[in-house]
Amino acid sequence: MLRSRLLPGFAILAGTLLFAACSDDRASGLSAPGGASTTGTSAVTTATADTSTTSTTATRTPTTTRTPTATRTPTATRTPTMTRTPTTSATPVRPAVALDGDVDGDGRPDTLTITQPGTLHARYSGGGDDTVRFRAGDPTFVDIHAQVLGAADADRDGHAEVFVQADQGASIQTAAVFRYFDGHLHLVTRAGQQAALAYGGSTGFVATWACRPAAVPAAAIVTETGPSTSSGAYTLSIDYYRFQQASLVPLAHRTAVSGPLDSLSGARDEVSGAAGCGQARLSP
């Protein structure tokens, strides 16, 4: 009897507990703590009498894709518009060779005269003049009216040097040299004495000179002098000079053994091809 009375009570209690449990599960699945709603996550719960298995799957989907909207492209290319080219050369420009007779270098011949023994007068075509004294030989042997041999640019500096017959012997003559610089004409010296360029000769001695020698282009003057041997051959001393202001300065020297007098070629001006210098020709 007692057992039959208790069965309805147990049934009511079990139903109440089951209802309460279902209500709790439904509330936990619908709301998060604090009343916040859960999105983006799907939860599935499977309950059995002995075990509970929970699987959670979350997928994050990008909502915005950043796409470049502009590409920076160079709009200008810098190109050199000018190339600098040297307009001058490091090589010194050599003055033009003066015309024969043009002492002051203005392109016109000047007037050269011997006004008296040992005096050279130069009158320049552009105006002005110079008078230069020099040592001359005995007028008995020197024709003072024909002593100016001529003028030519021996060192190619744009001014013609003046050559004057200053003395002569039985077979040898000598020439004095005058050079124009610093606006005036000057007598040229060698080793402190008036320069004397010898020319002429005989069977015992020979001498000659020339300007602008091809063998030594840096030289202004070359001289050749020497005696003959007993066999009739001449031993020549050949000297090359350059100008330094109003002085002849040695540049080179050599000795050559030649043959008989009539076989000697002698010094030659590279320009005229003859002994002497330009229009200043040497007498035989």
For residue 242, give its domain range.
Answer: 111-281
Residue 2 lies inside a defined structural domain of this protein: no
Residue 251 lies inside a defined structural domain of this protein: yes
Predicted confidence band of residue 134 (pLDDT cuts 50, 70, 90): very high
Q: Given the structure tokens 């070359």, which residue do they identify?
A: 222
Residue 98 lies inside a defined structural domain of this protein: no
Answer yes or no: are the C-beta atoms of 246 and 231 closer than 8 Å.
no
Residue 28 lies inside a defined structural domain of this protein: no
Q: What is the pLDDT of residues 69-108, one digit of tens each?
A: 545 555 555 554 544 444 444 444 446 789 999 999 999 9
Q: What is the pLDDT of residues 231-280, one digit of tens each?
A: 778 888 999 999 999 999 999 999 887 777 667 778 999 999 999 999 99
Q: Quote the pLDDT of residue 240.
A: 98
Residue 147 lies inside a defined structural domain of this protein: yes
Taking the C-alpha atoms of residue 252 and residue 215, their distance in angstroms, rounded to an integer, is: 11
Answer yes or no: are the C-beta atoms of 190 and 248 closer than 8 Å.
yes
Residue 23 lies inside a defined structural domain of this protein: no
Q: Quote the pLDDT of residue 215.
A: 93
- pTM across the whole model: 0.65
Q: Quote the pLDDT of residue 95.
A: 61
Domain count for the chain, please give it.
Answer: 1
Q: Quote the pLDDT of residue 266.
A: 80
Residue 55 lies inside a defined structural domain of this protein: no
Residue 230 lies inside a defined structural domain of this protein: yes
